[in-house]
Amino acid sequence: MGETVIRELISEEKVCNRINELGAKISKDYEGKELHIITILKGGVFFACELAKRISIPVSIDFMQVSSYGDSRESSGIVKISKDLDEPIEGKEVLIVEDIIDSGKTLSHLKPMLLSRKPASLRLCTLLNKPERREVNVPVEYIGFDVPDEFVVGYGLDFAQKYRNLPFIGVAEEQ
């Protein structure tokens, strides 16, 4: 087994600039309203905190931790909630914040479940999007970057719980 080397894919500066742009757009889109952010743990925390700081309207935040069970290669399509929301979302403007969306399977099950809780609106924001991996079409209103089908780390994304704290987006490569 070789050493893991991280190749920079998106610089810290580009990530920060894009989060500024997303914060401005979200602030404009929800002008005059309050926004409730649901952050998907663990990876979404880094992005959600930086994004929330750049949104100029009132923001509240809550967390969910979800996983799809099945073998290591494929989601079973069953979403298990290991940490549910602390607050009800009925009547709230809700934005789900994710670190990355690839197959779309987890969100295709999570979104209807959250809609059944009767938010005023429910939109999706992701730092990274892997369109090549999409198996289920999930509308994503706010996308930071489209990335190639490579194993990305940093800014909340991990490899065996490591590299989440990198301030840039990198690709983990075995040497």
Across the chain, mean pLDDT equals 91
- Quickly name the fold that domain 11-150 has: Rossmann fold (3.40.50)
pLDDT at 77: 60
- C-alpha to C-alpha distance for 125 and 26, rounded to whole angstroms: 10
- Looking at residue 168, its pLDDT comes to 96
- When pLDDT is averaged across residues 119-147 and rounded to a whole number, the result is 95
Neighbours of 32 (CB within 10 A): 5
- For 69-128, what is each residue's pLDDT tens digit? 544 444 556 778 999 999 999 999 999 999 999 889 889 989 999 999 999 999 999 999
Tokens encoding 41: 């743990």
Catalytic residues: 102
Instruction: Parse the chain into domains and list their residue ranges.
Output: 11-150
Kindly state the average pLDDT of the residues 136-151. 94
Query: Cα separation of 81 and 140, whole Å?
Result: 21
pLDDT(6) > 60: yes
**To which H or E segment does residue 128 belong?**
strand 121-129
